[in-house]
Amino acid sequence: MYRFIVRRLIWMIPSFFAVSLVSFIIMRLPPGDFVTSYAADLATSGAPADQATLDNLRHHYGLDRPLYVQYISWVANALQGDLGVSFEYRAPVADIIWSRLGMTFLVASCTLIFVWVVAFPIGIYSALRQYKLGDYLVTFLGFIGMATPNFLLALFVMYVSVVYLGYSVGGLFSPDFVNAPWSMARLADLLRHLWIPVVVLGVAGIAALIRIMRANLLDELHKPYVETARAKGLPELTLTLRYPVRIALNPFISTVGWVLPTLVSGDVIVATVLSLPTAGPILIQALKTQDQYLAGALLLFQCIFVLLGTLLSDLLLAWLDPRIRYDR
């Protein structure tokens, strides 16, 4: 088992370099660079900059160096913990990312818990009552949930909360609490706002999970071991939860690691619509303006999270299900 973990960790090193290279190339694929997009931005706001200013800027940011030099110095600095400077915010990338990661983590974990708590019981119920009224109802709602684009849902929920519930628009806090120190009142304010992104982000996930849980469980419910257990007289509920549900959980455990990368980008569009102080809107903005080190750092983080998340999932799965351990 330890050899397995070590082997996986060693493999992460070349993966990291490959991923960093791909991130960098993706960022530089669009024509022009940050200064080009900055110039376009200025010109369309009615304040065009002259060529000398732009050349100054390009030199200041080191964008006039050859691409491979830019890449090597970026990676070398990143390995020493220096992620570079965001051109747009004119601030160290690390500051920007860390200041947002806390809220991102909060939203993502609340959403995950919400999804699981709602989806598992419904999924199980739906499988046990296959082709009954309850199953049809849940299936119907589930498909609607899956088919509704969540940014649209976000707009809808936001509108309702503003117009009928008297909330302030967007964000995770009311304006008075945004920069206030932590207190019970601020916590209450946060909870009052938090349910919106959690519900909006959770709905599609819940719908999908219900379907997966139902399908997985249906595969298991008619297997001989279930019949055997039933024949031996186990109560139906105990039986279901103890055997088929545990096996039906495998796909969830093997995907739990995928939650990690969503910390960076899972909620990009919804977070933009709701003006959440999370990492998603920053990533999309950085990509739009070609703010290369900020976007690069976020993409890099995301890739590292994918690698770590996959490892985590594998370990959890091995722990949960003895049948798939490597070194039996």
Partner 1 sequence: MNFRSWLTRAGGGLVATAGAALVGFAVLTGAAAADYHQSPTLDDAVKSGKLPPVEQRLPENPRVETPVEQVGQYGGTWRSGMVGGSDRNWMFRITGYEPLVAWDRDWTGKVIPNLAEEFSGNADATEFTFKLRKGLKWSDGQPFTSDDVGFFVNDIARNKDLFPSPPDWLTVDDQVGEFTKIDDQSFKIKFASPYGLFLQRLASVYGVQIDMMAKHYCSQFMPQYNKTNLDQLIQQAGVKSWSELYIKKCAVDTEANERWQNPDRPVMEPWMIHDPYVGGATIVTFERNPYYFKVDTAGNQLPYIDKLQISVNGDVQTLVLKVVNGEIDYQDRHINSNSNRAVFLDSAQKGDYRLIDEKNSDMNTAIISLNLTHKDPVKREIFNNKDFRIGLSYAIDRQSIIDSAYLGQGEPWQAGPRKESAYYNERLAKQYTEYDVKKANEYLDKAYPKKDDQGFRLGPDGKRISFTIMVIPALGDWLDATQLVAQYWQKVGIDAKTQTVDRTLFYDRKDKNDQDATVFEGSGGSADAMLEPTFYFPFWNESLFAVPWGDWYASAGKDGEAPPAAVKKQMDLYRELKGSADAEKQKELFKQILDIAADEFYAYGISTPGDLYAVVKNNMHNVPVAWTAWTYPAPVASNTEQYYFSK
* Closest to 200 (Cα-Cα) out of 281, 268, 279, 124: 268
Burial of 168 (0-12, 13-18, 19+ CB in 10 A): middle
Pick from 2, 14, 31, 68: which binds partner 1 (CB under 8 A)?
31
Distance in angstroms (rounded) separating the CA atoms of residues 288 and 300: 17
Examine residue 193 and tell whether it contacts partner 1 (CB under 8 A).
Answer: no
Pick from 70, 111, 262, 272: which binds partner 1 (CB under 8 A)?
272
Residue count, binding to partner 1 (CB under 8 A)? 58
Binding mask 63-102 for partner 1 (x = CB under 8 A): -----------------------x-xxxxx--xx--xx--
Question: From the CB of 264, what's the least distance to partner 1, in Å?
Answer: 14
Examine residue 53 and tell whether it contacts partner 1 (CB under 8 A).
Answer: yes
- Given a contact cutoff of 8 angstroms between Cβ atoms, the answer to whether 255 and 314 are in contact is no
Give the largest CA-CA distance in the chain.
85
Crossing angle of helices 133-147 and 184-221, rounded to 10°: 120
Examine residue 40 and tell whether it contacts partner 1 (CB under 8 A).
Answer: yes
Examine residue 36 and tell whether it contacts partner 1 (CB under 8 A).
Answer: yes
Binding mask 142-171 for partner 1 (x = CB under 8 A): -------------x--xx--xx----xxxx
How is residue 154 written in tokens? 């976000």
Distance in angstroms (rounded) separating the CA atoms of residues 41 and 45: 6
Pick from 7, 56, 137, 228: which binds partner 1 (CB under 8 A)?
56
- Given a contact cutoff of 8 angstroms between Cβ atoms, the answer to whether 278 and 103 are in contact is yes
Pick the closer one to partner 1 by CB: 30 or 134: 30
Distance in angstroms (rounded) separating the CA atoms of residues 318 and 3: 14
Pick the closer one to partner 1 by CB: 124 or 263: 263
In degrees and rounded to multiples of 5, residue 206 shows phi and psi of: -60, -50
Please report, as ranges, the residues that interact with partner 1 according to CB under 8 A.
Answer: 30-33, 36-37, 39-48, 50-53, 55-56, 59, 86, 88-92, 95-96, 99-100, 155, 158-159, 162-163, 168-171, 173, 175, 178-179, 271-277, 281-282, 285, 289-290
